Amino acid sequence: MTKRIKVKTLLGNPVLGSDVLVKGWVRTKRGNKNILFIALNDGSTINNIQIVVEVALFDENLLKEISTGACIGVMGKLLESQGQGQQIEINAASIELYGKSDAETYPLQKKGHSMEFLREIAYLRPRTNTFSAVLRIRHAMAFAIHKYFNDKGFFYLHTPIITGSDAEGAGEMFHVTTMDLSNVPRNPDNSIDYSGDFFGKSTNLTVSGQLEGELGALALGDIYTFGPTFRAENSNTPRHLAEFWMIEPEMAFYDLADNMDLAEEFVKYLIRYALDNCSEDLEFLNNMIDKALLERLKFVLENEFVRITYTEAVPILTSSGKKWDYPVSWGTDLQSEHERYLVEEHFKRPVILTDYPMSIKAFYMKQNSDGKTVRAMDVLFPGIGEIIGGSQREENYEKLLGRIRDLKIPEKDLWWYLETRKFGTAPHSGFGLGFERLILFVTGMLNIRDVIPFPRTPKNAEF
Ligand code: 4AD
Ligand code: MG
């Protein structure tokens, strides 16, 4: 019996004259009463394999049912193609129909569909060229992330998804409970009584694995996390998801400069990996989605990232002559319009901004001796804005506790984190790379909803 061969393998090493079995979904069918041409795609590559069908050899009803979207298996001889547009084709000897697809109602018609429409049929959009390319690149990037860290001696640490603390202190958490929400038990002071809840306390989905990641770094040296994170921020933008994936390396004995070096090397490695390993998909996206994509990826590889402090960036923004939606002065948080101005117009390359005002950054960041700024770093990318956020961590127990108290963060939720500063604390640093923002950059897609299979955003959790 012939074993199924994937189209990618077939096209990569075609043995002309051999008998092959391919299985996949019909992209198009055309022809005349004597001969049919079927473009078959099995997802292994952006390229289709052409199936040539001599009508007289097959049952008429079977051929009628092979329409766009149908799933078939084809056995036949691999031949040099007579026609244009492909090198090889399969001359069908037998065809098995696995699943027919009603041509009238199949949502993916030949005409180009809008990204918005494709989101409504997210269960079928992986069958389009664009989304299959994005998903293959997404896979390659996930693989490259593990390879990069493994080769560098980092350990993959699995931090919890359900937690009792707010790692960013921003209060943007989804609660996790098994309580009957129509009858929530109350304490005498009317606050919610969690003692009978599943965990016996208030819990939520994690916003970041960092705090647990720090514990790992203070034992294993270099670790990284790579998992889903959840934020209940009501941001309806092309760069925010309520459920997204984050890669968070955390390193003992790294200061902020080491942290920046790692971040720059890491993202450049990933971009080079994509260029080396995803060329067909990238070329497709370069042609169909963004003509400047390949150029931009190479440009980022070839240029050093600019490194400046927040305090140096503010005067650049205030003297830019730009009309900002959000005015800037020292102490204000930077918006994506400011970040993108620095990257796209002023420096014209990626920028690492450091040493932000303490008041706009998370409690765990190492305090500078000026008493006003912290050892934060944001990596800003063209078209994206912030792609990475990180910092050196405050390793001093008193200073960390002081900041937690100043911000009125519940100490009882973080006691275990504070303990690490009592027992063998060490200078350490880390950062978080937003996986979907990386994929946006690498694919040239414009909306973060289109680089994850099933996006979760405010008022949307379909599929
Ligand atoms: O800057 P953030 O909030 O930093 C942290 O969570 C730190 N604990 C990371 C660390 O130091 N270990 O988030 C990190 C990155 C951002 O730079 C951005 O790329 C991405 O995560 N991100 C989001 N991506 C999609 N949707 C959202 N709502 C995101 N929020 C953050
Ligand atoms: Mg950030």
Q: What pLDDT sits at residue 110?
A: 72
Q: Please state, rounded to an integer, the average pLDDT across all residues of the chain.
A: 96
Whether 310 lines ligand 1, by a CB cut-off of 6 Å, is no
Ligand found nearest the CA of 437: 1
Contacting residues for 212 by C-beta, under 8 A, at least 6 apart: 157, 159, 160, 163, 225
Cβ(436) to ligand 1 under 6 A?
Answer: yes
Rounded Cα distance, 216 and 454, in Å: 31
- Is the CB of residue 240 below 6 angstroms from any atom belonging to ligand 1? yes
Q: Is the CB of residue 241 less than 8 Å from the CB of residue 455? A: yes
Instruction: Determine if ligand 1 sits within 6 Å of the CB of residue 166.
Output: no
Q: Model's pTM, two decimal places?
A: 0.97
Q: How far is CA 401 from CA 397, 407, 411, in A?
A: 6, 10, 8
CA angle 419, 421, 424 (to 5 degrees): 105
Residues of the chain with pLDDT under 70: none
**3-state DSSP assignment of residue 376:** strand
pLDDT at 179: 97
What does the pLDDT read at residue 169?
83
> Both tokens of residue 64?
């009628």
The pLDDT assigned to 442 comes to 98
pLDDT of residue 98: 98
Mutate-to-test residue for ligand 1 from 159, 214, 236, 244, highest number of ligand atoms within 8 A of CB? 244
What per-residue confidence (pLDDT) applies to 240?
97
Q: How many residues does the chain have?
A: 463
Distance (angstroms) between ligand 2 centre and the Cα of 388 equals 7
Q: What are phi and psi of 302, to 5 degrees?
A: -85, -10
Alpha helices in 201-322 (DSSP H): 210-220, 256-277, 279-288, 293-302, 310-318
pLDDT at site 369: 97
Residue-level pLDDT at 171: 82
Taking the CA of residue 213 as reference, the ligand 1 atom at the shortest distance is 12
Ligand 1 pocket check for 393: Cβ under 6 Å: no
